[in-house]
Amino acid sequence: MTETETDTEAETTTIDGDEYVAVAGTDEIPDGRGIAVDVGGIEVAVFNADGEFYAIGNRCAHQRAPLCQAGSEKINADHTWTKTRGRVDAEECTVSCPWHLWKFDLETGLNEASGKRVASFDAAERDGTVYVHI
């Protein structure tokens, strides 16, 4: 059981004693997609993986591709097999980069093959709002 206290004016909420900042409404991040937000100068990508929300650094550890684009539609997608540039995999809890398919764990930010990682942040959903703790 977590303890939640919401401060609507500052658009923050406190969860288990930590301050979380509101980043989007849940309906603004479709399932299998992500958005990018600047929180205090930090680029954060927030993903919806089958109703669970995750937050990691937005820039790929390889070549700084915007990870938030994972799951965006390819050009002439109907003539390709996977249809999307990279993707969010809810079952594996991973996101693959839209440029080179580097795969990152959504909870830890780790790319297992290289051992490199992007930052990971706690994310939570409360009453239709997605919050991130930096």
21 phi and psi angles, rounded to 5 deg: -110, 140
* Binding flag, residue 49, other proteins (CB under 8 A): no
* Count of residues near other proteins by CB under 8 A: 37
* Binding flag, residue 75, other proteins (CB under 8 A): yes
* Binding flag, residue 22, other proteins (CB under 8 A): yes
Among 16, 31, 64, 114, binds other proteins (CB under 8 A): 64
Which range, of 21-29, 47-55, 104-112, 115-123, touches other proteins by CB under 8 A? 21-29
Give strand pairing partners of 87: 96
Residue closer to other proteins, measured from CB, 4 or 74: 74
- Kindly state the smallest distance separating residue 39's Cβ from other proteins, in Å: 5
* Binding flag, residue 91, other proteins (CB under 8 A): no
Tell me which long-range contacts 111-120 makes (C-beta under 8 A, separation of at least 24).
111/61, 114/61, 114/62, 116/61, 116/62, 117/61, 118/56, 118/57, 118/59, 118/60, 118/61, 118/67, 119/42, 119/56, 119/57, 120/54, 120/55, 120/56, 120/57
Among 5, 11, 18, 112, binds other proteins (CB under 8 A): 11
Instruction: Return d(Cα 73, Cα 131) in angstroms, integer.
Output: 26
Among 5, 38, 50, 112, binds other proteins (CB under 8 A): 38
Residue 128 contacts residue 8 (beta carbons within 8 Å): no
Site residues, other proteins (CB under 8 A) = 10-11, 21-25, 35-39, 43, 58, 63-66, 68-69, 72-77, 79-82, 85, 96, 99-101, 103, 129
